[in-house]
Structure 1
Amino acid sequence: MASYHSGEIAVQERAELSDEASFSLGAIGETVPAVAAAFLAEQPMIVVGGTDRAGRLWATQLTGEPGFLRAPDPRTLSIDALPLPEDPLAEVLTGAGDPALIGMIAIEPATRRRMRINGRAHREGDGLRVDLDQVIANCPKYLQKRDYRLLAPAEEEAAARTRSAVDSTELSADQQRRVRAADTFFVATASDRGDADASHRGGNPGFVQVLSPTLLRWPDYIGNAMFLTLGNLALNPAAGIVIPDFETGATLHLTGTAHTVWDADEIARVPGAQRLVEFSVEAVRDISAASPLRWTAPGYSRFNPPVA
């Protein structure tokens, strides 16, 4: 039976939401039901979180024509894609060695549906096979509506010729601007045993604050009370973020550490916040033209709190 680990339970108790968390436990399974398999087969993107060879957590995205995600059986996910060579998780997902513990989340912005899947990834030809440990139904709050198109082959080849990756240890002025303008990002965390998870965070532009070139803060809004992300952080502060540029296909990857802020006065200054999360940046990888997906302007979720 599904259960919470000690970090998740500690956060649920501190938030006084243990009863709600017990109810939400029913959304955690070990297999992909038929309706979820059909959902995955329709998606052009899945976000992946994992740990690199140096022990740093990163989040990234894999893309393809709908159908590139397949559940050949209820305990397996096949992904017909591999990370770009420039991707911070390329080495662990494409090289030889032990299976990589990864967390994944698939979202469908046009319908605001999403699901999380965690397991162990093995290289299999030109893709990945993931042996599943958890399949989690998620609530659609704070997800902005968008439609997508995939670049035509000639467009994708032209974009690939311009692709570049820039590394740094802090956010440049332009990168800070992009963070402040974001309405969506994805965060990867892991338990103290290394079991990885990937989650979505959304809000109106400005919901992510840039406190300095190496410090971000965002609100933790009302959710399903599972606290899978904050529970991992209670045991293991390592975290990774990817902020996709929906117009250009660029991806801004950050890795570092994060912690939950419980100070009532600080929380009260941020509309809608139940808690705050502060993320300390240790490394940045900015990849241009990383994705062949181009998305329409957002229709903001009616659940998004205002931004002060």
Structure 2
Amino acid sequence: MLEQTRQDATSPWHKGELAMQRSVGVAERMDGPGRNFVRKAMPEQHRAFFPMLPFVVLGAVDAKGDVWATVRAERPGFMVSPEPEILDVRLPRDAADPADAGMEDGDAIGMLGIQLETRRRNRLNGVIRRTDPGAFQVHVGQSFGNCPQYIQLRSSAFVRDPDVPTAMPPLHSGQLDDRALGMIEGADTFFVASYVDRENGERQVDVSHRGGNAGFVRVGADGVLTVPDFPGNRFFNTLGNFLVNPKAGLVFIDFESGDMLQMTGKIEVLLDSPEVASFQRAERLWRFTPEEIVLRPDALPLRWSRPPGL
């Protein structure tokens, strides 16, 4: 019966995504793209893309229901798709990463493959199948590409063996310190994870890219982040999730040091606020209140550089 329901479901959009699409008058127009571009398996170009990458962005939900975003790096080839519905991922467990707690067998996961030097990105979500602490399979639920908008050009290089973890311990906090504030306020890129539990009982996790000019995220005196939502593909995966489940996980990277700042917390979506006018090109805003903060010095074995003149 469940399989028949899946066959009959012609649109992948859930009620939060549809509500966002209706709020800007595009729900009918987005029905066709939803059927055509959001697939239940990976197309050949996506299957060829993921093995090229030296890192992947992941979204996961821990046992408390908190969502975390993370970045994991390995030599290219650590992700391979033996079948269109499967992505094999070779990554060891990492107790220092708060997202790792949501990567057990049967857990839902969101994935973003992104190549900053070409501004190419592909997203998928699915369910983890794990029998090995050093690897897992993702059984694909949705797979789709994204346009290159707002991606800042960067190239990366390994500075150490990715199988050798840093010796620097993670720093846990309930509030933003000067180091964390500096990473946020100087950022032109971050990644955000969100999730919903759909009507059929399946959990759907999404992780996506956000980019803009350095300083596009503002931090108030109360430690709340205000994030502009710029014109995009009108899928509204992230904001649609927020409307149904106002939780998010954010990760900021210091591209020069490999430090990572991971946070989980609550969301407020502002569809119509006079404050929007103070953010150039923004169509709406959302606010993020951090509840748990993990700063992980030297967490990534990669370092990124900008092209000359940028």
For the criterion TM > 0.5, the same-fold answer is yes
Task: Find out whether 1:277 has 2:290 as its counterpart.
Answer: no
Deviation at 1:253, TM superposition (A): 0.3
Q: What is the aligned counterpart of 2:15 among 6, 24, 45?
A: 6
Which of 255, 258, 266 is residue 257 of structure 1 equivalent to? 266
Matched residue, 1:304: none
TM-score of the aligned structures, taking structure 2 as reference length: 0.90
2:6 is matched with which residue?
Answer: none
Give the TM-score, by structure 1 length.
0.91
Cα-Cα RMSD: 1.9
Task: Provide Cα deviations, 1:224-263, integer angstroms capped at 9, x if missing partner.
Answer: 0010000001100011001111111111000001121122
Question: Which of the numbers 234, 238, 250 marks the counterpart of 1:229?
Answer: 238
1:190 and 2:170 correspond:
no
Please say if 1:32 is aligned against 2:42. yes
Query: Which runs of 5 or more residues in structure 1 are unaligned?
Result: 302-308
How many Å separate the matches in 1 of 2:69 and 2:222? 19
Q: Residue 64 of structure 1 aligns to which amino acid in structure 2?
A: E
Which residues in structure 2 correspond to 1:1-308 (within 5 Å)? 1-25=10-34, 26-93=36-103, 98-125=105-132, 126-153=134-161, 157=164, 160-161=166-167, 163-193=168-198, 194-297=203-306
The whole-number CA distance in structure 2 between the counterparts of 1:191 and 1:281 is 19
State the match for 1:305 in structure 2: none
Contact 1:21 1:224 in 2 (8 A): no
Distance in 2 (CA, whole Å) between partners of 1:184 and 1:295 is 12
Any unmatched runs of 5+ in structure 2? 1-9
Contact 2:261 2:295 in 1 (8 A): yes
CA contact (8 A) 2:74 2:163 kept: no
Measured in 1, the distance between the counterparts of 2:290 and 2:190 equals: 15
Cα distance in 2 for partners of 1:140, 1:81 equals 27
Aligned to 2:261, what secondary structure does the other structure show?
strand
Give the stretch that moved more between structures: 119-128 or 66-75.
119-128
Aligned mates of 2:240, 2:308 — CA distance in 1: 30
Q: In the superposition, relative to structure 1, how do residues 79 and 11 fare at CA in structure 2: closer, same or farther (>3 Å)?
A: same
- Deviations along 1:256-307, one digit per CA (max 9) or x if unpaired, are 0112112242111210001101101111011111111111126899xxxxxx
Of 277-286 and 10-19, more deviation after overlay is shown by 10-19
Q: How many residues align?
A: 295
- Name the CA shift for 1:78/1:156 in 2 (closer, same or farther; >3 Å): closer
How far did 1:156 drift? 7.5
